[in-house]
């Protein structure tokens, strides 16, 4: 674990202990299970966001993609009678296609990631609302999909399957980002795309792969959210989820300048955000302040990242200057 991860883990345990002291209901089995379920649900797309941020990009359409994919998935099963494995395959292909489109627009047409994904945020939610005629896509009363509900929304030994999926994705993401050639290329492109290109890395392919991975994981998250709520209201479903993903990634040490980050940090960031939101709920603080908490966390994370980078650069410069001075001294 990096020093940042250790510090964040300490902060998570400290905040958890404070919450438990302030309200013992925090440690109740029901509350812990519900909190764990939310950690799993929100964690999936937070890891997705991290894959884009590490390349110095940004993905602002996550919430809208969750709404659109959720609407289509539910409607394919409930209205068209498509077997759920086929519906799942269709929406996952659609999710990957969205990521491919974003990556192509950014790399081939040289558009800014902020502009591309901001337009996506508006377009996908608009399509979802038009598709449902601004209504709600949901399962009819009494509809039963036992296998699908067990796999996606069920629990094993009290552990929500969303947490299991989150942990599996986290392990796979850690191996991919920290133990593969693609992972090294992602860091290199985020750190210095020109230097990465001169060293033989296909930066276009790497960036496209990052956006495809992000959209694919977002599609998985959309299916879990759709089965969790059992209905999708396109005008509100997934609102501001992209900000949550950015906050978790920034807390996890992913610099918005790219080239830095840890999957373990993202996992800890998601846990910390959910513990904070649980604290807001248990203390009876208005839920509208969740956005204020999220915004404060993003701001604090960016400030901490900026100050840490300045300190690290100054330290490197001091070490380099000291080395030059030592090299210039006459030998005895």
Domain positions in the chain: 3-328
pLDDT class of 43 with cuts at 50, 70, 90: very high
* Buried b / exposed e along 298-309 (16+ C-beta atoms within 10 A): beebeeebeeee
pLDDT value of position 327: 65
pLDDT value of position 303: 81
Question: Contact, 36 vs 228, CB < 8 A?
Answer: no
Higher pLDDT, 305 or 96: 96
pLDDT tens digit string along 217-254? 999 999 999 999 988 999 999 998 998 899 899 888 89
Work out the percent of the chain whose per-residue pLDDT is above 70. 96
Q: Mean pLDDT, to the nearest integer, of 68-95?
A: 95
Higher pLDDT, 32 or 321: 32
pLDDT value of position 31: 92
* pLDDT beyond 90 at 131: yes
pLDDT tens digit string along 149-168? 999 999 998 899 999 999 99
pLDDT tens digit string along 280-293? 788 777 777 777 87
Backbone angles phi, psi at 56, to 5 degrees: 70, 20
pLDDT class of 213 with cuts at 50, 70, 90: very high
pLDDT value of position 142: 65
Q: Mean pLDDT, to the nearest integer, of 186-197?
A: 95
* pLDDT beyond 70 at 331: no
pLDDT value of position 322: 82
Helix H or strand E encompassing 285: none
The mean pLDDT value of the chain amounts to: 90
* pLDDT beyond 70 at 170: yes
Distance CA 150, CA 296 (A): 37
Question: Contact, 74 vs 226, CB < 8 A?
Answer: yes
What are the residues facing 138 on neighbouring strands?
A: 231
Return the closest-CA partner of residue 287 out of 229, 245, 250, 240.
240
Sign of the dihedral defined by the CA atoms of residues 300, 302, 303, 305, in that order = positive
Distance CA 34, CA 41 (A): 11
Structure tokens at 303: 């400030």
Q: Mean pLDDT, to the nearest integer, of 15-44?
A: 91
User: In which residue are the tokens 């999220």 written?
Assistant: 294
Lowest mean pLDDT segment, chosen from 3-12, 20-29, 219-228: 3-12
Name which CATH class applies to 3-328. mainly alpha
User: In which residue are the tokens 């840890």 written?
Assistant: 262
Structure tokens at 200: 């033989």
Question: Contact, 203 vs 148, CB < 8 A?
Answer: no
Distance CA 9, CA 315 (A): 25
> What DSSP state is assigned to residue 145?
-
pTM of the model: 0.89
């Amino acid at each position: 674990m990096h020093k940042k991860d250790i510090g964040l883990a300490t902060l998570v345990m400290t905040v958890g202990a404070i919450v438990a002291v302030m309200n013992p209901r925090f440690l109740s089995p029901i509350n812990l299970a519900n909190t764990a379920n939310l950690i799993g649900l929100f964690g999936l797309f937070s890891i997705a966001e991290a894959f884009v941020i590490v390349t110095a990009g940004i993905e602002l359409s996550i919430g809208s993609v969750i709404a659109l994919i959720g609407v289509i998935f539910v409607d394919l099963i409930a209205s068209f009678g498509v077997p759920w494995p086929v519906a799942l395959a269709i929406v996952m292909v659609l999710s990957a296609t969205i990521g491919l489109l974003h990556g192509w627009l950014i790399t081939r047409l040289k558009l800014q990631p902020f502009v591309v994904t901001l337009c996506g945020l508006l377009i996908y939610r608009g399509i979802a609302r038009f598709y449902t005629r601004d209504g709600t896509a949901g399962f009819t009363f009494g509809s039963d999909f036992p296998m699908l509900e067990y796999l996606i929304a069920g629990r094993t030994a009290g552990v929500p399957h969303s947490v299991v999926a989150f942990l599996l994705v986290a392990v796979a993401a850690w191996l991919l980002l920290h133990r593969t050639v693609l992972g090294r290329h992602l860091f290199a492109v985020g750190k210095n795309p020109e230097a990465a290109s001169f060293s033989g890395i296909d930066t276009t392919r790497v960036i496209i792969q990052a956006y495809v991975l992000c959209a694919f994981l977002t599609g998985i998250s959309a299916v879990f959210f759709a089965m969790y709520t059992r209905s999708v209201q396109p005008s509100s479903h997934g609102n501001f989820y992209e900000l949550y993903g950015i906050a978790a990634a920034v807390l996890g040490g992913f610099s918005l300048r790219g080239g830095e980050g840890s999957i373990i940090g993202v996992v800890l960031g998601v846990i910390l955000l959910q513990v904070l939101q649980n604290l807001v709920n248990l203390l009876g603080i208005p839920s509208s302040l969740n956005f204020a908490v999220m915004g404060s966390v993003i701001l604090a994370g960016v400030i901490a990242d900026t100050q840490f980078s300045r300190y690290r650069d100054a330290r490197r410069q001091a070490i380099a200057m000291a080395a030059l001075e030592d090299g210039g001294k006459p030998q005895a």
